[in-house]
Amino acid sequence: MIDDKIDVIAFQELNVHRNNQHVLESHRRTATSLGYKLFLAPTAQVAQIGGTAILVSLQMIADGSVATFMHSHPNGNYVRVMLSNASFGTIHVWSIYAPADGSQRRDLFLKMAAHVNSETLLMGDFNCVEDVALDTRRSANTPYENIGADVLTFIKVYNKLEDQMRYQLGYHFNFTRSESDDTGRYCSTRIDRHYLPQIRNHIWDSEITDLLIVNSDHSAIKSTLRSAIPGSDVIYGHDLITINPQILEEETYRTKIETLLNEHINNIGETHIQKAIGSLKYKVRKTMLTMTKEYTAHVKAAIKNIDNKINTLHESQRHNPKTDYEQRKTALFEKKQEELIKLSAPSQSLSHHKTLSGEQNSTNFWRRVFPITRGRKGIISINKVDDWTNPPPKNTILPAQTQEIAKESSKYYEYLYSPQEETNRTRTAKQRLLKKLREWGVENSTSQQAGEDISLDEIK
């Protein structure tokens, strides 16, 4: 979501009970790790369907916006946040889940009406549509249950809010949810909508998309606020490219690195060890950055192909509804998730500690591996060992030549960082360690430093 530069996100049907503090706290930590501040309205009863949330980008807040919690419905049917910004002023943002029961839904809208004004942004699953002819496609001939739609329409018109998606569709049909059963019956509706306020010198653009969420029986609505003043749009720079260690799981890329290492060892000759190590770091990092770009482009192409299939499936369901739509959509999302995992990097999260000794940026790593000894960097003395799992006594054979020291050092680090044999004891210890790391998280500053390039001063 951060990658799509989405500032405000509304969720419905979280189905989280207010007394389930463990799950509530887990959601807050997850939101923070993704770069968002969470405002949550949980359900009042364990078995109740509903619960709503609003996520506001921490970057947006850091840039000067103010997000203030205003109110939440006691049963979790909505949560309301006031968002203030120098560009668009003040907007009251709602995330709404209207009950499936018609009388409860109408009662909710009536109570909402007193708190909605022309500076309100309503986002939600309303479980009804404004125009049954335009916003539904059904196999049934019975009347569509649409109680409460009249109150919602009044709220929209009275406060001059806009259903931008309907303006863009004109008299055409699109849907945000499609249901079907084994008997061939189906129902496609546009029950999820955004009601948008008019903002001076800005225009709204909305779209229905399946590409912002991993998998759901609802499609998402994405609304973008753009400046109506020419030349005032924000121009974003190039994306930061960080080495993806998963590329070494591919045989082709792993072979390239092995070839590079062998060539470097064969060509260093009597080169000073400090210069040899600096040159090797530079070559490996440059090669892996190039391979990461290539790997990322390949994976993104695969994701784009899946996205095209998802869009095609949505359009096909829009014009020619099929009963297997949900199964085919789920299968495509599972394939997309497999590809997205390949692009995953360690995520930033809020740490309970100011400094975690186990976290290091690239500078500290290389300094630890090649410490300063007698005014020089690098290993200047090492035993010649054939098998590091069973090393001989110290001070037996000490290579003197730079190339020999480099080879022995390479053997030592290969042993030191090679995967160890896994036992039940180590497996249990690993799981405990991973659990602790997830609880601790990673400092924001550490996360940023870990992806920085190695400077010229470090390799000289």
Whether the pLDDT of residue 260 is over 50: the answer is yes
Q: Is 339 helix (H, G, I), strand (E, B) or coil?
A: helix
Percent of the chain residues past pLDDT 70, beyond the cut: 81
As a whole number of angstroms, the distance between CA 309 and CA 59 comes to 33
- Cα–Cα distances in Å, from 118 out to 198, 199, 202? 8, 10, 15
For the cut 50, the answer to whether the pLDDT of residue 115 exceeds it is yes
Give yes or no for a contact between 128 and 98, defined as CB atoms under 8 angstroms apart: yes
Span 328-339, pLDDT tens digits: 888 888 888 888
Cβ atoms of 37 and 56 closer than 8 Å? yes
Selected residue with higher pLDDT from 376 and 274? 274
Confidence at 357, pLDDT banded by 50, 70, 90? very low
Please report, for residues 82, 204, 351, 360, 425, the alpha-carbon distance to residue 39 in angstroms, rounded to integers and kept in the order given: 11, 24, 20, 33, 41
pTM value surpassing 0.95: no
User: In 3D, which of 65, 66, 10 has the Cα closest to residue 41?
Assistant: 10
In the three-class reduction of DSSP (H, G, I as helix; E, B as strand; rest coil), residue 95 is classed as strand
Average pLDDT, the chain: 80
Q: What angle do CA 51, 53, 56 make, to 5 degrees?
A: 180
For residue 121, the model assigns a pLDDT of 96
Which stretches does DSSP call E strand in 240-322? none
CA distances from 453 to 80, 202, 273 (A): 42, 39, 22
Q: Is 405 exposed, middle or buried (0-12, 13-18, 19+ CB in 10 A)?
A: buried
- Strand 372-373 relative to strand 89-97: parallel, antiparallel, unpaired? unpaired
For residue 205, give the 3-state DSSP assignment: strand
Determine whether 129 is exposed, middle or buried from the number of CB atoms within 10 Å of its CB (0-12, 13-18, 19+).
buried
* CA angle at 152 for the pair 150 and 158, rounded to the nearest 5°: 100
Query: 59-73, 80-94, 165-179, 216-230: lowest mean pLDDT where?
Result: 216-230
Rg from Cα positions in the chain: 29
Determine the average pLDDT of the residues in 70-83: 92
